[in-house]
Amino acid sequence: MKEILEHPFFKPLDIPALMAKKLTPGYMPDINDGELKYFDQRLIKDQTVEMSIVPADRQKLIGKNKN
């Protein structure tokens, strides 16, 4: 991930503020009731979400079989 964030495209971003969710987006769409019903509710309610949706045991298996 560090390699990606160091790309020149991301240079203008304040990465620590981005990761802390302290940046204000340039565009906020108007959202009507029911439009977010298919999204993960943890994301909608601004709860803490792990960096990966892949379960930890699967992450270990992926790492083990990486080569």
What is the pLDDT at residue 8?
Answer: 93
The structure's pTM equals: 0.41
Number of domains in the chain: 1
Residue 15 scores a pLDDT above 60: yes
Look up the domain containing 10 and give its range.
Answer: 2-64
3-state SS of the chain is CHHHHCCHHHCCCCHHHHHCCCCCCCCCCCCCCCCCCCCCHHHHCCCCCCCCCCCHHHHHHHHHCCC
Residue 50 scores a pLDDT above 80: no
